[in-house]
A and B are shown apart, each in its own frame.
Chain A
Amino acid sequence: DGGITQSPKYLFRKEGQNVTLSCEQNLNHDAMYWYRQDPGQGLRLIYYSQIVNDFQKGDIAEGYSVSREKKESFPLTVTSAQKNPTAFYLCASGQGAKDSPLHFGNGTRLTVT
């Protein structure tokens, strides 16, 4: 079955540590996205990539980094510079066209204490 896999589902880290969230898709989509969701809030765009080896900052990129070395993979690193990292992180992919919908993974819930 085609889809997007995010792992792990739950992640716990101590403050000051970097952590990498995994996102893999087998939908052959060119574009991939990372969103952050906080309770009672909508989704906010962190980074997006429309092609391999290229990515752009979204609205809240500070404290995060990404790479896009393969079409299928778009890992997100939450660095110690991110002030409030505890959140639900969602990865999505799409064909990159203006009227193509996004396909989402089931998210990673990160808790930093």
Chain B
Amino acid sequence: SQQGEEDPQALSIQEGENATMNCSYKTSINNLQWYRQNSGRGLVHLILIRSNEREKHSGRLRVTLDTSKKSSSLLITASRAADTASYFCATAAYSGAGSYQLTFGKGTKLSVIP
């Protein structure tokens, strides 16, 4: 079952602008992660935010988490053409027997126009 849902499905911006992607989920989570996927390649982990954190930064990335609204946002500042990719949120939740499962959304396709 897919827990996270990203919004928008696609986003096109000019180089230098900021890009904001949102993720909503349904059940309680342990943490939420954002991944990036270039066309035809595997996913690359970007950032993880725990359920007791509200905001996290990494370079040009800023992630927020609102557990009361069950939502997260990823902000990429000063975008570059090389940021063109699909971005996925993934929620980690306890699945029993001491294990945690990561469930991915359908992704936001970001195009940064030079």
Contacts and interface: CB of A to CB of B under 8 A. Distances in A.
User: Is chain B a partner of chain A in the same complex?
Assistant: yes
Interface of A: 4, 6, 35, 40-45, 48, 50, 56, 59, 90, 92, 96-99, 101-107, 109
- Chain B contact residues, majority secondary structure: strand
A107 B42 contact: yes
Nearest to A109: B40
A96 B101 CA distance: 9
Given A42-B106, A101-B48, A90 B42 contact: yes
A97 B35 CA distance: 18
By size class, the interface of chain B is 20 to 34
Nearest to B9: A40
A77 B31 CA distance: 31
B92 A99 contact: yes
Contacts of A102: 35, 43, 45, 102
